[in-house]
Each structure stands twice: as C-alpha cells, then as structure tokens.
Amino acid sequence: MPVLPEPTVLSLPTPEATAALARRLAPGLGAGDVLLLDGPIGAGKSHFARALILARLNAVGLWEEVPSPTFTLVQTYHAGDLEIWHADLYRLTHADEALELGLAEAFTTALCLVEWPDRLGPDLPADALRLEFAYGAGQDARQLTLTGGARWAGLLAGLAQTVCDV
C-alpha cells in the first residue's frame, strides 16, 4: 500500500497570497485532476478558483469573466485543449443531483474545481486533492490544508518548499 503524504498546511495572509498560490498550482494541473474546495462561506474557495482558472486561460492568451457558479451550478471554460469545470454544489440537496450535472464524466476528462464537495456524497473521486479553507488570524488571513493521495505527493512537497515565495 502506498504511503500517503502528510497534509500540507499553508498560512495565506491576504487574498493576493491565495490568488498567487492558485496561479502557482495552475500549470501543474490537467485533465482528470479534481480539486475539492471545502470550507465555510467567505473562506476563499471562489477567489482561489477564479485565480486558477484565469491563470490557465491567460497561459493560452485568453481572458474571460469568471463568475461564481452559485446559481448556474457549473461554469465551463476552454483553455486551449483543456476543459475546466468550476462547480458550486452549495444549493444541491442530494448527491444524485451532482451526477445529473455530468460531473462523473468531467472528473476523468476535464480539470474540475468543486466547491462544497460534501454534496457529492459517496461519489467523491478517490484521487482528488482536497483543499480545506479556514479563517486565519487576521481579517483577510486564511489557513489552507491540502490533502491528497500518493499522486499528489510531489505537488504537495513542492508547495511546502516554496510557500514562503507566495
């Protein structure tokens, strides 16, 4: 059985630090990668997702508005040949509703950012990277705990080594 990496805990003192971290992660992500963005309302999940999506779009010379998918449930983007799904499942009441959105297929074919992943119930992708946002010590500060299986070990180790640059 593979050894799972320890969770990586990062202190993000400002919203810009959160966006910088998203921009740093963006180039290393691709189709089939799923990020589960967890945490209370206002903790930075959507801010992180917007920054990551914009970084991927900018990398291929594109820019577009990146609204919160709270009411549409899913927003999709095309960054060159990479499809990106940003899902906000807050308003769902049952895990079956998430499957009706087509998320199961997207988990294998697109880069997926999922806010309120608990709404997926038992359908959480086993190899996803979980990002747990929490309020930090200051008004704008956040604490982020990243947890993932063995496939994320290199990425998490790299983050731990370079977090002071964020």
Q: Is residue 127 part of a domain?
A: yes
Q: What is the CATH classification number for the domain harbouring 42?
A: 3.40.50.300
Q: Is residue 59 part of a domain?
A: yes
* pTM for the model: 0.91
> Which domain does 99 fall in, by range?
8-165
Q: What is the pLDDT of residues 18-48, one digit of tens each?
A: 999 999 999 999 999 999 999 999 999 999 9
Q: Is residue 2 part of a domain?
A: no
Q: Rounded to an integer, what distance in angstroms lies between the CA atom of residue 71 and that of residue 73?
A: 5
Nearest CA to 18 among 56, 57, 51?
Answer: 51
Number of domain units in the chain: 1
Q: Is residue 27 part of a domain?
A: yes
b/e burial code for range 105-135 (CB count within 10 A of at least 16 → b)? ebbeebbbbbbbbebbeeebbeebbbbbbee
Strand (E) or helix (H) holding 124: none
Q: What is the pLDDT of residues 4-21, one digit of tens each?
A: 568 899 999 999 999 999
